[in-house]
A = this chain, B = another copy of it.
Amino acid sequence: MAADPPQGIGLRTVRRRRPVTIKDVAQLSGVSAATVTRALQGHPRVLPETRARVQDAATRLGYRPDHAARALVTGISRTIGLLVPTIRDPYWAEVAAGIEPRAAQDGFAVLIASGYGDPVRAGETLEVLLGNRVDGIIVTASAGVAEPRLTPPMGLPTVVVGLDPPVGPLELEGARLAPVPTLLEAAQRHREGVGLSHVGFDDVAAGEIAARHLIELGHRRIAFLAGPATLATVLRIAGVRRVLESAGLELTAVTRGGDTFEEGRAAGVELLRPGHDFSAIIAFNDLLAAGVVRAARTLGVDVPGEVSVVGFDDIALAGLFQPALTTVRAPKREMGARAAELLFEHMLHDLDVQWELLGGNLVVRESTAPPAAGA
């Protein structure tokens, strides 16, 4: 917490530097250091001629303002921290890809720290971010990994992207049967508990989109393959059920899945054994959906002929899989960009806590079709 942890490389061992400073520029251009700053920063009250002379000198010397010195006096590091569970997950990589350009646009650098899927390590890397005096933090919270450690940065502008807190097994089991409004209330409670601004994917709307697509195709018996025991699963189920119920239908089944291809495949084998009574499956995400499709193929069940399958996210795989996956696309880049924007707003004005949910859009490919005649 307080001191630096023991570290492999001692401070004094690293090579020092001796770069061009503002004084060198001042000397060469024959003005004071103060004037150099003003000239370079575009301060209004400098003679155009002086400014030109200073800029020229700066360029000639290859002067580059020292970030650390500036940060020290201004109290602003012009750096934002990004805490991700792991950058290897293409989903978060995509979100990060949305953040970085938006930050760069305002001259902010992005310091990335990885939580390694472990709350303790996440806490440590958060410390690194804070030690670097980042001006703000964006936390990507997959499966609630980083969430419990979110309290310390308080006081520092913080935005959460894709908050997805774990839910109890009861809530997950009950998701199929509990009244939809109850589910939504539970979600609201979860969000309020965090007390931080948040940019997320509108899971409820996404569930609705998936369900509506299937109903429009003529499906009436639909199963849901749940993801991990987190809020997102509950909400997508709620969205699906909302549409189903308004069509006088109900979810035929909800099965525990997971979030990997393998788990999807295993669940698919379970789900698709002879005698199942649905014509379509909505899977929590694309990887799971792909697993189900693979299981179907192995079992000789035709997709979409006998069973339609819908996923969520629209990962790169979705379009390359065979059959290509119909899915509800999550606006990952946009979520990242919006989070950065929101963070800047927080840094500038004392903005109230805000929740923004970005909608998904249906991408129809080959894994869905009208149900078979007799179904």
A residues at B contact (CB < 8 Å): 1-9, 11-17, 25, 39-42, 55, 58-59, 61-69, 71-72, 74-79, 86-88, 90, 93-94, 96-97, 100-101, 104-114, 116, 124-125, 127-133, 135, 157, 261, 290, 294, 297, 316-317, 320-322, 344, 347-348, 350
Contact B111 A348 (CB under 8 A): no
Sample of 18 further A-B pairs with CB below 8 A, known A2-B59, A110-B111, A317-B317: A2-B62, A4-B40, A4-B65, A8-B106, A16-B76, A66-B133, A67-B68, A67-B131, A69-B72, A79-B132, A86-B97, A88-B90, A90-B90, A101-B116, A104-B113, A112-B112, A290-B320, A294-B322
The 7 closest A-B pairs by CB, nearest first: A2-B58, A7-B107, A68-B71, A3-B40, A8-B106, A68-B68, A88-B97
**Could you list 10 examples of A-B contacts with CB < 8 Å?**
A2-B63, A3-B42, A4-B107, A8-B107, A66-B72, A72-B72, A109-B111, A112-B112, A290-B320, A317-B320
Identical copies of this chain, number: 2
Residues in B neighbouring A40, C-beta threshold 8 A = 2-4
Which residue in B11, B127, B297, B316 is a CB contact (below 8 Å) of A317? B316
Q: A1-B62, A87-B96, A87-B100 are in contact. Are A15 and B347 (CB under 8 A)?
A: yes
* Known contacts A15-B347, A66-B133, A72-B66, A6 near B42 by CB under 8 Å: yes
Is there contact, CB below 8 Å, between A68 and B77?
yes
Please give me the residue from chain B that is nearest to A291 by CB atom. Answer: B320
CA distance A102 to B125 in the complex (A): 13
A127 surroundings in chain B (CB, below 8 A): 64
Whether A64 and B130, one on each chain, are in contact in the complex, defined by CB atoms closer than 8 angstroms, is: yes
**A14-B347, A97-B87 known; A8+B105 contact, CB < 8 A:** yes
Q: A9-B348, A72-B68, A105-B8 are in contact. Are A3 and B55 (CB under 8 A)?
A: yes
Least CB distance, A90 to chain B, in whole angstroms: 6
